[in-house]
Structure 1
Amino acid sequence: MRWIRTLAVTALVLTLAACETSPTGRQQLTLMSDAQLNEMGREAFEKYQQDLPSAGQAQQRYAQCIADALVAVLPERERNKDWQIRVFESEQANAFALPGGYMGVNTGMLDIAKTQDQLAAVVGHEIGHVIANHANERVSTHTSTQLALSVLGSAAGMQGQGGQQLMGALGLGAQYGILLPFSRRHESEADTIGVRLMADAGFDPRASLALWENMSAQGGARPPEWMSTHPSHGQRMQGLQAEMGSAMARYEQARQAGRTPNCPRP
């Protein structure tokens, strides 16, 4: 059918337009410029700092010490980003990363990440999101999905109530079949990058497993896996376990090279 050919051509053009490779070797669709996203990240980070109360200086130094050790072992191109980290006063156990290298950690996360190595797993994960261009990929995937659905609706002549219902169903299918699984893939990839990075910096990668044990102990209701933007705690621990052999080898090499971070916990 003609609309199928139109949709296929649209998908092919988008794929060829901006195909890159992530640090783990995965093919990516990135349609936005780094400069544009980095500026958006900087503006969002400034707003975070205006809207959220900052933690004390000792907590800021603690997070900065860990971030500095991780950034120091990045490839030069990534190391030269404007890396900044802030600790915010909030009981919510959360951390975030924005394009350009801007990161935030809540004090609630410091209560769960009980050692420097566990917090390095958190910060390494967030750095993983940045250097893998996940923000660009998420925006690009959403944009291309919406464009494909729009082309499909126009080409197939889906007008009227029945057509709108079908388009709504297709949109729901895209949400749960493409966008959410894509986000889960990003989380798993950031875990992989983060555990490699913390090992290279001289932090014990086994602390990443301890961190998720702490997270699991917090409990709380979670949506079904297929409706969540994050993998289950069990799946994340399985993924980290699969990476642990090579991560421990990297850790031993880092220690032999003299990389022994010492970031006193406040």
Structure 2
Amino acid sequence: MKRLLMPFLLPLLLLIGCAKAPITGRTQIMMVTPQQEKAMGFQAEKEILKKEKLSTDQALIARVRRIGMRIAKATELNLDWKFYVIEKPDVANAFCLANGHVFIYTGILKYTDNDAQLATVMAHEIGHAIAHHVAEQVSMAMVTNIAATAAAIAIEHNVKSSTEEAAYMAALGLGANMGIVLPYSRMLESEADHIGLMLMAKACYDPRESIKFWKKFAKKGKEPIVYFSTHPSSAQRIEQLTELMPQAMKIYRQSGCEKSVSAADSPL
């Protein structure tokens, strides 16, 4: 079987590039360039703007932009930052595309009591973008697909019974999803929490408010079983944020943030 896999794995190893995630320093698998990732972002933005209704609440739009720009400044990246508010009170979601364009659904606002809690959400999404998580997920999908193809060929050549082959193929698919795809997605979410916490602290948003946000968000309804989910549970997020809080508070205090809290941090 190893001899069958080698023709697939050797070119795969040559294609894989490595990068480092900001703040965490984690080594990443990259088979997609930043230019390709940005192009995917612009294409996604076109599709989103075609089908979604943008909010006309100028006060809310201004507030989201102000919070977002403070976090964007903390990244020290000169991206074309833009901030959109989508009028969907029943959708508690937000995301940041690779081009630096952030989308906030109005449904998430019911879980935020102040600017710092909304900053928790926005910093998390911006964390995904600056860590190139879209490119990394696409890269991981490419690696997984190539490896799965190689394994499928090996199974086909080494298993004689069609019934046994079907069982192996089913196990292969389930194993790839449960053992690689979902855990990897949860890991990226946890990393975005980590990056986001440090960004909000650097932007002078009290990082302790992140835990308050996730406690409130946890009450929105029953969460899926973690092992079958793309996201960690709210409890797992809170545990990680609690462990990282001393580091975040050090950044917050060193920046003199506690002395400079202003109306910008007022309740929504």
TM-score (normalised: structure 1): 0.90
Counterpart of 2:84 in structure 1 is 86
Cα distance in 2 for partners of 1:144, 1:157 equals 20
Greater displacement, 160-169 / 137-146: 160-169
Ranges in structure 1 where 5+ consecutive residues have no aligned partner: none
Counterpart of 1:211 in structure 2 is 213
Shift of 1:153: 1.7
Counterpart of 1:21 in structure 2 is 20
Cα distance in 1 for partners of 2:252, 2:206 equals 7
Superposed, 1:20-169 pairs within 5 Å as 20-23=19-22, 24-55=24-55, 56-75=57-76, 79-90=77-88, 91-158=90-157, 160-169=162-171
Question: Contact conserved, 2:252 with 2:258, CA < 8 A, in 1?
Answer: no
Greater displacement, 249-258 / 236-245: 249-258
Cα distance in 2 for partners of 1:71, 1:247 equals 17
Per-residue CA distance 1:58-102 (angstroms, 9 max, x = gap): 211111000000111213xxx211221211111211111222212
Question: Cα gap change, 1:71/1:148 in structure 2, threshold over 3 Å: closer, same or farther?
Answer: same
Counterpart of 2:194 in structure 1 is 192
Provide the alpha-carbon RMSD of the alignment. Answer: 2.2
Question: Contact conserved, 1:93 with 1:109, CA < 8 A, in 2?
Answer: yes
Ranges in structure 2 where 5+ consecutive residues have no aligned partner: none
Counterpart of 2:204 in structure 1 is 202
Shift of 1:262: 4.4
Shift of 1:103: 1.5
The one-letter code matched in structure 1 to 2:85 is V
The one-letter code matched in structure 2 to 1:119 is L
1:221 aligns with 2:239: no
> How many residues are paired up?
261
Shift of 1:177: 0.5
Per-residue CA distance 1:214-256 (angstroms, 9 max, x = gap): 10122x2222110011101110000000010111111112225
The one-letter code matched in structure 2 to 1:155 is A
Greater displacement, 35-44 / 186-195: 35-44
Identical-pair percentage: 35
SS for the counterpart of 2:25 is coil
Cα distance in 2 for partners of 1:255, 1:63 equals 23
SS for the counterpart of 1:19 is strand
Per-residue CA distance 1:153-184 (angstroms, 9 max, x = gap): 22343574532431222011111111100010
Question: Contact conserved, 1:203 with 1:261, CA < 8 A, in 2?
Answer: no
The one-letter code matched in structure 2 to 1:153 is A
Cα distance in 1 for partners of 2:2, 2:182 equals 29
Question: Cα gap change, 1:19/1:38 in structure 2, threshold over 3 Å: closer, same or farther?
Answer: same
Cα distance in 2 for partners of 1:184, 1:200 equals 25
Cα distance in 2 for partners of 1:103, 1:210 equals 22
Cα distance in 1 for partners of 2:31, 2:11 equals 13
TM-score (normalised: structure 2): 0.90
